[in-house]
């Protein structure tokens, strides 16, 4: 390597280190502000107020790094309940397990695959944004909510303690306890909201995958009397040929969760299995942007070992989305779709947004003149329709 190349390489390394430090600094400042300025959600009291978010520690729950686990709840109309599965990445082998998300890694563009704990900063991703925002413009403002938070990297279905070697060379364990966390969270939900007539089971990103995997258990084990039931997955497409092995041998899910996985598309397989058992008892909804910048980066990492998005892999994602929408529509033509081409400069990196249901654009951005909030609210009232289907004809 000549002198010029060495200087360039050193400058790149310094830039990455600087960006990493800045990212960690920003995340830590936000976390301290949430704690010190009273923005952190209060612990759930014996007599909670309506229209207020509370934090509920789950005694038997555990985050991926072994730290405490909690969920968020909001009491409002007891007859309308949303069980929301949070997203936050995925770990599917030892390499990804060793690279949890930090503010520094995100800022520096370094590989970072999943959130492994619920630090104060993560509150801003879970409540008071998008569908969870308590504002008059939000048609879900008056709904009761249980937000099943996510910090285990296992699509909420794991049941394993997975040893791995960290980036620092130390032996560590990733606690894939998503399934235990889920059921313990649902016990809280049942105690607070025993008999809702209207039920929305929704999730974004990793939580979008969890919806078809766990909706049946929510209804059978906790809300068998619910009749008005809508399922909604926002951005749950990531093709990987080893999903079945991951679910069975790494996450160690129960057989009824790993056995239906037969292809690269785990979400599609879980929806097929769910529909074969429940048919039209549920309303089914799916949403995605057409060039998802983040899921395309994950896919690029899987197939090319490049943790970044670009036009080539965004087109791969688009072609896969066209096929997936077709498969879901073949399952039932009443599978409602919301497709968009929303972009946010400097964030979506030439692609389109990743998830919308818990983002500010849920209430404000439109596709074909319709917000996602309007589309989802209409569906929960029985008016299921498609938005953005013309985008699949390019």
What is the 8-class DSSP label of residue 241?
Answer: T
**How many CA within 13 A on the CB side of residue 27?**
20
For the chain, state the CA radius of gyration. Answer: 20
Total residues found in the chain within this entry = 394
Question: Could you tell me the fold of the domain covering 40-393?
Answer: Rossmann fold (3.40.50)
pLDDT score for 361: 96
Count other Cβ atoms within 10 Å, centred on residue 316. 17
pLDDT score for 11: 33
pLDDT score for 24: 44
Q: Residue 389, exposed/middle/buried by CB under 10 A (0-12, 13-18, 19+)?
A: middle
Q: Which residues of the chain have pLDDT under 70?
A: 1-38, 103-104, 106, 108
CA 382 to chain centre: 25
Q: Which of 52, 60, 278, 44 shows the shortest CA–CA distance to 182?
A: 60
Contact 131, 202 (CB under 8 A): yes
pLDDT score for 110: 84
Measured CA distances, 331 to 262, 273, 280, 385 (Å): 16, 10, 11, 16
SS3 228: strand
pLDDT score for 20: 37
Contact 190, 225 (CB under 8 A): no
Measured CA distances, 367 to 124, 172, 231, 232, 289 (Å): 25, 45, 21, 18, 10
Q: Which of 298, 391, 235 shows the shortest CA–CA distance to 99?
A: 298
Q: What are the sequence ranges of the domains in the chain? A: 40-393
d(CA 193, CA 196) in angstroms, rounded, equals 7
List, as one string, the DSSP characters of 49-112. PBT-EEEEE-TT---TTS---EEEEEB-EEEEEEEEE---B---SHHHHT-B--HHHHHHT---
List, as one string, the DSSP characters of 258-294. HTT--SS-HHHHHHHHHHHHHGGGSEEEEEEETTBHH
pLDDT score for 33: 54
pLDDT score for 26: 45
Strands 160-165, 171-176: pairing is antiparallel
Contact 64, 152 (CB under 8 A): yes
Which conformational region is residue 115 in: left (phi greater than 0), alpha (psi within -120 to 50 degrees), or beta? beta
**Single pTM value for the model:** 0.92
pLDDT score for 8: 33
């Amino acid at each position: 390597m000549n002198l010029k190349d060495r200087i360039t390489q050193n400058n790149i390394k310094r830039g990455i280190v600087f960006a990493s430090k800045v990212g960690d600094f920003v995340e830590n400042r936000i976390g301290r502000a949430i704690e010190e300025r009273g923005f952190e959600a209060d612990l759930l009291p014996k007599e909670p107020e309506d229209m207020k978010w509370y934090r509920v520690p789950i005694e038997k729950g555990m985050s991926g790094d072994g730290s405490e686990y909690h969920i968020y709840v909001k009491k409002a109309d007891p007859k309308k309940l949303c069980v929301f599965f949070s997203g936050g990445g995925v770990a599917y082998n030892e390499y990804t397990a060793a690279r949890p998300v930090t503010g520094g890694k995100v800022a520096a563009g370094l590989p970072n695959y999943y959130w492994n704990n619920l630090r104060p900063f993560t509150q801003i991703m879970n409540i008071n944004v998008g569908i969870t925002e308590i504002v008059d413009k939000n048609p879900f403002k008056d709904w009761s909510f249980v937000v099943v938070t996510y910090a285990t990297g296992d699509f909420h279905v794991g049941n394993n303690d997975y040893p791995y070697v960290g980036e620092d060379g130390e032996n560590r364990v990733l606690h894939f306890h998503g399934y235990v966390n889920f059921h313990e969270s649902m016990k809280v939900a049942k105690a607070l909201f025993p008999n809702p007539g209207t039920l929305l089971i929704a999730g974004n990103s990793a939580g979008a995958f969890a919806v078809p995997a766990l909706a049946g258990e929510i209804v059978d084990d906790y809300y068998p009397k619910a009749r008005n039931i809508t399922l909604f997955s926002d951005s749950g497409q990531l093709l990987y040929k080893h999903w079945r092995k991951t679910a069975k041998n790494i996450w160690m899910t129960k057989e009824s969760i790993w056995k239906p996985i037969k292809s690269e598309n785990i979400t599609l397989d879980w929806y097929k299995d769910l529909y074969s058992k429940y048919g039209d008892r549920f309303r089914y909804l799916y949403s995605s942007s057409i060039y998802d910048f983040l899921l395309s980066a994950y896919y690029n990492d899987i197939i090319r070992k490049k943790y970044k998005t670009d036009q080539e892999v965004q087109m791969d994602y688009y072609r896969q989305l066209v096929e997936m929408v077709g498969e879901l529509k073949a399952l039932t033509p009443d599978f409602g779709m919301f497709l968009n081409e929303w972009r946010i400069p400097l964030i979506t990196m030439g692609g389109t947004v990743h998830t919308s249901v818990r983002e500010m654009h849920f209430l404000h951005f439109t596709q074909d003149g319709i917000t996602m909030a309007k589309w989802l609210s209409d569906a929960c009232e029985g008016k299921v329709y498609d938005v953005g289907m013309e985008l699949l004809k390019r």
